[in-house]
């Protein structure tokens, strides 16, 4: 189940939003402006934060690790981790239990990223400096968004693994990719390109589906998925039908949150196509079901990519 940190009105199992810079006046259109949410398993499921706002992290976040695989993607302006700058739509997959950083922020850009922890119990940062660790622990203790989450201790065993469908290799504990270059992604029957990424628990972890769908790509039918889904438009636009209400047009940085077991409307790419990130809380639930039965077309082709990833993870265990 998706649980939002803020309040929202759900309609037939979904709520829509747009990640906007909340330092500026926001239109009264009923859309969420960014989101912080828990999804999937009530104890160890993913946590997702996506926002553009004033700086909420230290100007320089020190080198640290998490007891969870993580994913971060720049939104709008670049973000910087270690010696790498990530432009809008570029992302970093980071292996659990491995030090990385530092991260850098400015007052001008603020905090502008989508950050996903595959296991919310791994949110706590473990630092190399004892004094900084005490400060981080104090901040976590005062963070109401973490209420009820039991953080994993430093010596906890984390059975996580990261795999992808396009040949990126962890060097040594992370890899970079993004929507700025989709040439290595698989080409589907309708001309779309697709990249699949598995992270988190080897069997029940998170699935990321990265779509690059041209304007003429096949429409996706309505479907029902047995786990929570976040759908974010990185570039372009898409139209999602909503029976009886005409549907919604999601533009750049528009998103939909869909509760497990509820129907997601049929959708199609906009006139400039759409590049989208889908976050599936538990990859065992893919592929979804449609009104006609098992998924066909692009959804089924995505299922083949996911099955290959699952097989690789099983053989490497």
Query: Taking residues 5-25, what's their average pLDDT?
Result: 92
Under a CB-based contact definition with an 8 Å cutoff, are residues 282 and 40 in contact? yes
3-state SS, residue 3: strand
In degrees and rounded to multiples of 5, residue 179 shows phi and psi of -80, -5
Query: Taking residues 295-317, what's their average pLDDT?
Result: 90
Give the C-alpha separation, 225 to 229, whole Å.
8
Query: Taking residues 115-125, what's their average pLDDT?
Result: 96
Assess whether pLDDT exceeds 90 at residue 137: no
Under a CB-based contact definition with an 8 Å cutoff, are residues 257 and 40 in contact? no
Query: Taking residues 46-75, what's their average pLDDT?
Result: 92
CATH code that applies to domain 3-146: 2.60.120.10
Q: Where are the domains positioned within the chain?
A: 3-146, 163-315
Domains 3-146 and 163-315 share a fold: yes
Flag the least confident range among 97-111, 166-180, 251-265, 288-302.
97-111
Structure confidence at residue 189 (pLDDT):
95
Tokens matching residue 265: 């409307």
- pLDDT higher at 215 or 149: 215
Give the C-alpha separation, 48 to 268, whole Å.
25
Flag the least confident range among 51-60, 124-133, 227-236.
51-60
Under a CB-based contact definition with an 8 Å cutoff, are residues 39 and 45 in contact? yes
Tokens matching residue 21: 């810079």
Reported confidence tier of residue 57, pLDDT bands at 50, 70, 90: confident
Q: What is the DSSP string of 217-236?
A: SPPBPPEE-SS-EEEEEEEE
Q: Has this prediction a pTM greater than 0.85?
A: yes
Assess whether pLDDT exceeds 80 at residue 244: no
Structure confidence at residue 48 (pLDDT):
97
Structure confidence at residue 11 (pLDDT):
92
CATH topology of domain 163-315: Jelly Rolls (2.60.120)
Of 35, 313, 293, 51, the C-alpha closest to 196 is 313
Tokens matching residue 38: 């828990």
316 Cβ neighbours under 8 A, 6+ residues apart: 161
Most confident listed range (6-10, 29-33, 280-284): 280-284
Assess whether pLDDT exceeds 80 at residue 257: yes
Reported confidence tier of residue 144, pLDDT bands at 50, 70, 90: low
Structure confidence at residue 108 (pLDDT):
78
């Amino acid at each position: 189940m998706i649980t939002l940190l803020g309040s929202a009105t759900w309609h037939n199992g979904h709520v829509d939003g747009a990640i906007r810079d909340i330092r500026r006046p926001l239109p009264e259109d009923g859309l969420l402006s960014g989101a912080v949410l828990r999804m999937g398993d009530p104890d160890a499921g993913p946590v997702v934060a996506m926002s553009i706002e004033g700086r909420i992290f230290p100007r320089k976040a020190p080198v640290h690790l998490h007891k969870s695989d993580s994913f971060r993607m720049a939104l709008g302006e670049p973000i910087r981790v270690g010696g790498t700058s990530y432009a809008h739509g570029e992302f970093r997959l980071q292996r659990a239990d491995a030090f990385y950083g530092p991260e850098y922020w400015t007052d001008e850009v603020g905090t502008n990223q989508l950050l996903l922890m595959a296991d919310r119990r791994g949110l706590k940062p473990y630092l190399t400096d004892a004094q900084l660790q005490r400060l981080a622990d104090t901040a976590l203790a005062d963070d109401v968004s973490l209420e009820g989450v039991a953080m994993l201790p430093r010596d906890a065993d984390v059975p996580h693994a990261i795999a992808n469908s396009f040949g990126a290799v962890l060097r040594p504990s992370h890899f970079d990719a993004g929507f700025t270059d989709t040439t290595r992604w698989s080409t589907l029957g309708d001309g779309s390109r697709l990249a699949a990424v598995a992270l988190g628990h080897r069997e029940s972890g998170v699935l990321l589906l990265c779509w690059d769908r041209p304007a003429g790509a096949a429409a996706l039918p309505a479907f029902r998925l047995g786990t929570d889904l976040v759908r974010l438009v990185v570039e372009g636009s898409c139209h999602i039908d909503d029976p009886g209400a005409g549907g919604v047009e999601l533009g750049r940085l528009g998103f939909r949150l869909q509760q497990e077991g509820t129907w997601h409307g049929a959708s199609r790419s906009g006139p400039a196509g759409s590049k989208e990130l889908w976050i599936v809380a538990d990859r065992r639930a893919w592929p979804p079901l449609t009104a006609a039965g098992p998924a066909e077309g692009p959804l089924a082709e995505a299922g083949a990519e996911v099955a290959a990833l699952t097989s690789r993870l099983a053989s490497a265990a």
